[in-house]
Amino acid sequence: MGAAAVLPITPAGEVVLVRQFRPAVRQVITEIPAGLLDVEGEDALTCATRELFEETGYRHTVVEFLAGYYASVGFTDEYIHLFWAETAEHPEGEPEDGIEVLLRPLEHMIASAKSGKIRDVKTAVALLLADGRARPSATG
């Protein structure tokens, strides 16, 4: 089935993160918005931007593909599509129930990923891949 995730960055250079309880690990995890590719006919880009709005209330102004990876080739063929996006300055909607939205400076989050403090792999990979890249609006 696969999934899509997006590293959203505000015009102020802050990463928009979601904090939510994840039953599989029985912990509250901070991560980038993401969702399964489970809507008939929906592609990864549409899924990522839909999840961004549903989970955070933010809309993207620019979005581009960052990378993709297999989640765990030892037991699943799940492929995660990673995007990064420039968002509007302020959210246009409310986050989903059970989600707390956090804003953190991009450079701080990249440093956290480099030091091993990010426990969610899609979030860590997106941050590490974003390190040193031009922001989407600079290339779009």
Residue 137 has pLDDT above 60, yes or no: no
* Helix, strand, coil abundance in the chain, percent, nearest 5: 25, 35, 40
Q: What is the pLDDT of residue 133?
A: 76
Across the chain, what does the average pLDDT equal?
Answer: 93
Q: Give this prediction's pTM.
A: 0.92
* 4/31 Cα distance (integer angstroms): 13
pLDDT above 90 covers a percentage of the chain that reads 86
Range of weakest confidence among 19-28, 107-116, 131-140: 131-140
Which residue ranges form the domains of the chain, and what is each CATH number?
3-139 (3.90.79.10)
Over residues 62-89, the mean pLDDT reads 94
Cβ atoms of residues 131 and 51 within 8 Å:
no
Query: How many other CB atoms are found less than 10 A from the CB of residue 57?
Result: 19
